Amino acid sequence: MKSYSIGAPNELRIGNIGIISLLFVLIVSTLLYFLPVNENPIISPSSRWCYHYRETLIHDGKPIYEKSEVLRYFSVNITRGVLIVRMERTFEWKIFHENRTEVITSNASEETLFLVDVSSRMYFDGSYTSWWIPTNIFIGSSIPIWTINFNVKGFSWIMFNGKILECWVLEYRSAVEEYILLYERVTGIFIKYEIREIASSSQQLLRERWLTDSDIEWPILAFIRPFLLLPIIASLLVLVSLLIKKIRGHLMVKKKSLNQDYLLI
């Protein structure tokens, strides 16, 4: 007498719906994660942002001086595709003597004007701005900043104002210099850099600059994107698990069929 399983077609149908749902989640999450969104910089007239800069000279493992600066940038206008930006700078010097530290501060603001072509990111002297980079880039891309061509090496995650941002990691290395720059992926905005310059075997200059404040309106995707890896990884793991389960089931059915054929012989 033949026996029939009423639940089998329903289980198969539910299984197929689950696989389709997982594939949909995987495709949508992957597209949002990898495809560029903003083609143009989000810096606009009236935008402002602020960096903190620190420079330390080290000799034989001991600091000689440390310079700290607060760099405030104000976007004044955009005229015929040229962005006009004003920078105000205040600084503090610390000179380290053997038994004391000398502190030199300045509350006066030093103002500088910058003019950069928005479409090319170039200043009039032919160098490239570091304020933002294109977003339609991938690992292995070459990006000009200042007068250096940087290579996109991968991703990194950083906390900014209590939120996680995913950044491109750009690198440049030579015999005497090492640059590491971070740029937020969705907007291409500069977040942080670390530079090490080796003057001699006993002396090196360390430089850091990082974004501390900005009124730039961040897209919601900038805060969602770091978490898109979770559904991508989860859906991949479940799909692989289902695939392995199906392969095992197919092999078991085939083995059972071969055993039955052997018994009949």
Nearest to 191, CA basis, from 50, 42, 24: 50
Q: Quick one: how far is CA 156 from the chain centroid?
A: 5
Question: Residue 131 carries which DSSP code?
Answer: S
d(CA 188, CA 195): 20
Kindly give, in sequence order, each residue whose CB lies less than 8 Å from that of residue 256, ignoring residues fewer than 6 positions away.
Answer: none
pLDDT in 10s for each residue of the chain, 265 residues: 444 444 555 555 556 777 778 788 778 877 777 766 656 667 877 889 999 999 999 999 899 999 999 999 999 998 888 999 999 988 888 898 888 888 877 665 678 899 999 989 999 999 999 999 998 888 999 999 999 999 999 999 999 888 889 999 999 999 999 999 999 998 899 999 999 999 888 899 999 999 999 988 888 888 888 788 787 788 888 878 877 877 877 777 776 776 665 555 5
199: left (phi over 0), alpha (psi -120 to 50) or beta: alpha
Catalogue the E-assigned strands of the chain.
48-59, 62-79, 82-96, 101-117, 122-123, 142-145, 148-160, 163-173, 177-184, 190-200, 203-214
> What order of strands is seen across the sheet that includes strand 48-59?
122-123, 101-117, 82-96, 62-79, 48-59, 203-214, 190-200, 177-184, 163-173, 148-160, 142-145
